[in-house]
C-alpha cells in the first residue's frame, strides 16, 4: 500500500512540476502580466506604485480590497516602480500561480486517497483558467493561493500538538487574514477552516493564536484604508456599487464628483450580454455605499417576487452566460477560457449531486470526504445572490470542483464498473 501511495505522490509531484513549467512559459514568456496592464490591471498597478513609492494615498485606494495591490507593491518597493519592478512582480505572480497546484495537493491529501489527491493536483496544474489568470495582475490567483494555504494549515493545526500546534495556528491566522485582505467574501470558507482547525475541540489557546495571526494583516489593511480615506471605511468600499449593479438593470455606471473626476464601471458579464441600461450620476463618488444600496433595494422592492429571476440569473452568471474576463478580450486565450469555463459550469451541478450521494454512503469503502469540498464550493453562491455573478468571482473556488471530480473519477466510476452486469 505504501508503494502505491508513493507512486501516486510522484504523479502529483510530476504534475506540479509540469504545471510550473507551463506557467513559466505562459506567464514569463508568452503573456507576462506587465505587458497587459489595462483596465483593472492598470488600476492595481497604479495603486501599488503609489504605495511602493510612499506617495500620498487617495480615496480610490480604498474602493477595492487592498490585499492584491499590497502584494504587488512589495517587489515594486524593492526593485523600483519602473519596468524592472514590474518584471519582478511578474515573477512573484508566477511563483504564486505555481504554488496553487502544490497547495491544492497538500490540502487534498487530507481529504481523499493519494490517487484522487494526485489527480486533483494534475487537474489544478493544467486547469486553463488558473494558468491564464497567472498572466494578469488580478486578485484571482493570490486569493486562490491564500485560501488554499489557510485550508492546508488548518489541517496542520488539527494534526499537531503542543507548541507546534500554536505555531501552525498563528500561521493559519496570518494566511486567513491575507485572504480576507485580498477577497473579503472568502470569510465563509475561512469559517469552515476554523471549524476544521478546532475539530470540535475547545482550545482557547489555539483559537487565540489563530485570531492574533488573522488580526495582524486585517488590522494593517484597516489602518491603511483609514489613512487613505481619512476615516474608518473597512476592508473595501465597493459593496454598494456591486449591490446596485447586481439588483438593478445596469449596464454601465458613469459618475463624476468634484475633486475626484469621472469614472466608469461595468460588469464584463452584462457588457458581453449587452443587457441593462446606462446610468449617469453627477456629483456622486463610487464609494457612496448608502446611496447605491438604497438604489438596489428600490429595484428589489419594485420587482417583488419576480426579483428571484434576477437572483437566479446572477447565479448563472457565475459560469455559463459569459466568457471569463479579461481572457475574453484576447482571441487566443478565449479559445482556451471559453470551453474550460463552459465545461466546468455545465458539469459542476452533476458533480456536486454525485459527490453528495457518495458522501451519504455508509459502506465504509471510501476514504474521501467530499462533503467538506462541497461546503467550500457552495460558499461562492452568497456572492452572486447578494451582489452579482461573474466567472472571475468563481475562479478561486474551481479547485473544489476539480477535487470533487478527482474523487468521482477514482471512487465512484471504478466502483460502478466493478459491479456485475445483469444477465439477459
Q: How far apart are CA 232 and CA 292, in angstroms?
A: 19
- Residue closest to 325 by CA, chosen among 11, 40, 2: 40
Decide if 188 contacts 167 (C-beta within 8 A): no
Structure confidence at residue 200 (pLDDT): 66
Q: In this predicted model, what pLDDT tens digit does every residue of 13-40 receive, in sequence order?
A: 999 999 999 999 999 999 999 999 999 9
For residue 71, what is the enclosing H or E element?
helix 67-79
Q: What is the mean pLDDT of residues 348-375?
A: 81
Confidence of residue 261 (pLDDT cuts 50, 70, 90): low
Structure confidence at residue 11 (pLDDT): 97
Nearby residues of 360 by Cβ (< 8 Å), 6 or more positions away? none
Cell of 121: 493536483
- Residue closest to 193 by CA, chosen among 103, 315, 275, 323: 103
Q: What is the mean pLDDT of residues 378-387?
A: 97
Decide if 90 contacts 135 (C-beta within 8 A): no
Decide if 18 contacts 81 (C-beta within 8 A): no
> How much of the chain exceeds pLDDT 70, in percent?
94
Q: Is the pLDDT of residue 417 over 70?
A: no
Decide if 368 contacts 411 (C-beta within 8 A): yes
Structure confidence at residue 59 (pLDDT): 86
The DSSP symbol for 262 reads: E
Parallel, antiparallel or unpaired: strands 277-282 and 250-257: parallel
Q: In this predicted model, what pLDDT tens digit does every residue of 237-253 receive, in sequence order?
A: 999 999 999 999 999 99
Q: What is the mean pLDDT of residues 258-273?
A: 84
For residue 186, what is the enclosing H or E element?
none
| DSSP H helices in 160-288 | 162-182, 187-198, 204-229, 239-247, 268-273
Q: Is the pLDDT of residue 318 over 70?
A: yes
Structure confidence at residue 411 (pLDDT): 80
Q: What is the mean pLDDT of the chain?
A: 93
The DSSP symbol for 361 reads: -
Q: How far apart are CA 390 and CA 29, in angstroms?
A: 28
Count of residues making up the chain:
424
Cell of 350: 452533476
Structure confidence at residue 34 (pLDDT): 97
Instruction: Check residues 418 and 117 and name the one with the higher pLDDT.
Output: 117
First to last CA, the chain: 38
Nearby residues of 400 by Cβ (< 8 Å), 6 or more positions away? 373, 374, 376, 377
Q: How far apart are CA 159 and CA 175, in angstroms?
A: 18
Structure confidence at residue 242 (pLDDT): 96
- Residue closest to 402 by CA, chosen among 109, 127, 9: 127
Long-range contacts formed by 34-37: CB under 8 A, 24+ apart: 34/83, 34/86, 34/87, 34/89, 34/90, 34/137, 36/135, 36/136, 36/137, 36/326, 37/86, 37/137
Decide if 27 contacts 135 (C-beta within 8 A): yes
Q: Is the pLDDT of residue 216 over 60?
A: yes
What are the phi and psi torsion angles at 81 (to 5°)? -95, 10
Q: Cell match 497587459: residue? A: 36
Q: How far apart are CA 251 and CA 269, in angstroms?
A: 9
Confidence of residue 122 (pLDDT cuts 50, 70, 90): very high
Structure confidence at residue 30 (pLDDT): 98
Confidence of residue 413 (pLDDT cuts 50, 70, 90): low
Decide if 47 contacts 56 (C-beta within 8 A): no
Structure confidence at residue 415 (pLDDT): 55
The answer for 407, left when phi > 0, alpha when psi is -120 to 50, beta otherwise, is alpha
Decide if 198 contacts 210 (C-beta within 8 A): no
Q: In this predicted model, what pLDDT tens digit does every residue of 34-59 receive, in sequence order?
A: 999 999 999 999 999 999 999 999 88
> How much of the chain exceeds pLDDT 90, in percent?
85
Q: What is the mean pLDDT of residues 115-138?
A: 98
Q: How far apart are CA 140 and CA 381, in angstroms?
A: 17
Nearby residues of 314 by Cβ (< 8 Å), 6 or more positions away? 246, 384, 385, 387, 388, 389
Q: How far apart are CA 308 and CA 415, in angstroms?
A: 40
If you compute the radius of gyration of the chain from its CA atoms, what whole number of angstroms results? 22
For residue 349, what is the enclosing H or E element?
helix 331-360
pTM: predicted TM-score of the whole model, two decimal places: 0.95
Q: In this predicted model, what pLDDT tens digit does every residue of 67-119 receive, in sequence order?
A: 999 999 999 999 999 999 999 999 999 999 999 999 999 999 999 999 999 99
Nearby residues of 319 by Cβ (< 8 Å), 6 or more positions away? 341, 342, 344, 345, 346, 348, 389, 391, 394
Q: Is the pLDDT of residue 422 over 60?
A: no
Confidence of residue 274 (pLDDT cuts 50, 70, 90): very high
Structure confidence at residue 423 (pLDDT): 35
The DSSP symbol for 420 reads: P
Q: In this predicted model, what pLDDT tens digit does every residue of 146-157 receive, in sequence order?
A: 999 999 999 999
Structure confidence at residue 424 (pLDDT): 28
Cell of 339: 470551453
Structure confidence at residue 366 (pLDDT): 54
Q: What is the mean pLDDT of residues 169-191?
A: 98
For residue 257, what is the enclosing H or E element?
strand 250-257
Amino acid at each position: 500500500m505504501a508503494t502505491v501511495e508513493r507512486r501516486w505522490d510522484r504523479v502529483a509531484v510530476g504534475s506540479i512540476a509540469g504545471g510550473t513549467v507551463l506557467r513559466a512559459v505562459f506567464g514569463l514568456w508568452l503573456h507576462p502580466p506587465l505587458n497587459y496592464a489595462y483596465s483593472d490591471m492598470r488600476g492595481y498597478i497604479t495603486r501599488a506604485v503609489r504605495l511602493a513609492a510612499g506617495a500620498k494615498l487617495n480615496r480610490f485606494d480604498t474602493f477595492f480590497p487592498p490585499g492584491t495591490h499590497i502584494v504587488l507593491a512589495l517587489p515594486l518597493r524593492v526593485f523600483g516602480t519602473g519596468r524592472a519592478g514590474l518584471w519582478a512582480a511578474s515573477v512573484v505572480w508566477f511563483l504564486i500561480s505555481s504554488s496553487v497546484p502544490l497547495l491544492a495537493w497538500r490540502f487534498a491529501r487530507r481529504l481523499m486517497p493519494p490517487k484522487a489527491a494526485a489527480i486533483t493536483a494534475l487537474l489544478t496544474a493544467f486547469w486553463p483558467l488558473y494558468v491564464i489568470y497567472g498572466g494578469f495582475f488580478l486578485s484571482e490567483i493570490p486569493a486562490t493561493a491564500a485560501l488554499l494555504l489557510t485550508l492546508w494549515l488548518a489541517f496542520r493545526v488539527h494534526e499537531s500538538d503542543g507548541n507546534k500546534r500554536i505555531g501552525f495556528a498563528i500561521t493559519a491566522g496570518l494566511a486567513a487574514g491575507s485572504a480576507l485582505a485580498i477577497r473579503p467574501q472568502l470569510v465563509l470558507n475561512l469559517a469552515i477552516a476554523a471549524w476544521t482547525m478546532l475539530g470540535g475541540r475547545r482550545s482557547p489557546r489555539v483559537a487565540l493564536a489563530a485570531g492574533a495571526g488573522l488580526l495582524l494583516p486585517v488590522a494593517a489593511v484597516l489602518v491603511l484604508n483609514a489613512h487613505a480615506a481619512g476615516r474608518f471605511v473597512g476592508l473595501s468600499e465597493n459593496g454598494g456599487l456591486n449591490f446596485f449593479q447586481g439588483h438593478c438593470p445596469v449596464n454601465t455606471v458613469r459618475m463624476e464628483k468634484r475633486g475626484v473626476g469621472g469614472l466608469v464601471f461595468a460588469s464584463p458579464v452584462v457588457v458581453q450580454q449587452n443587457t441593462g441600461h446606462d446610468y449617469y450620476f453627477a456629483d456622486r463618488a463610487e464609494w457612496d455605499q448608502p446611496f447605491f444600496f438604497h438604489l438596489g433595494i428600490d429595484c428589489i422592492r419594485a420587482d417583488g417576487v419576480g426579483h428571484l429571476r434576477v437572483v437566479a440569473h446572477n447565479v448563472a452568471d457565475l459560469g455559463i452566460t459569459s466568457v471569463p474576463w479579461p481572457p475574453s478580450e484576447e482571441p487566443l486565450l478565449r479559445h482556451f477560457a471559453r470551453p474550460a469555463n463552459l465545461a466546468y459550469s455545465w458539469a459542476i451541478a452533476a458533480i456536486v449531486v454525485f459527490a453528495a450521494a457518495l458522501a451519504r454512503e455508509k459502506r465504509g469503502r471510501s476514504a474521501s470526504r467530499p462533503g467538506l469540498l462541497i461546503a467550500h464550493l457552495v460558499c461562492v453562491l452568497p456572492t452572486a445572490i447578494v451582489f452579482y455573478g461573474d466567472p472571475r468571482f468563481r475562479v478561486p473556488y474551481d479547485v473544489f470542483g476539480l477535487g470533487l471530480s478527482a474523487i468521482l473519477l477514482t471512487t465512484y466510476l471504478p466502483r460502478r464498473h466493478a459491479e456485475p452486469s445483469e444477465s439477459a
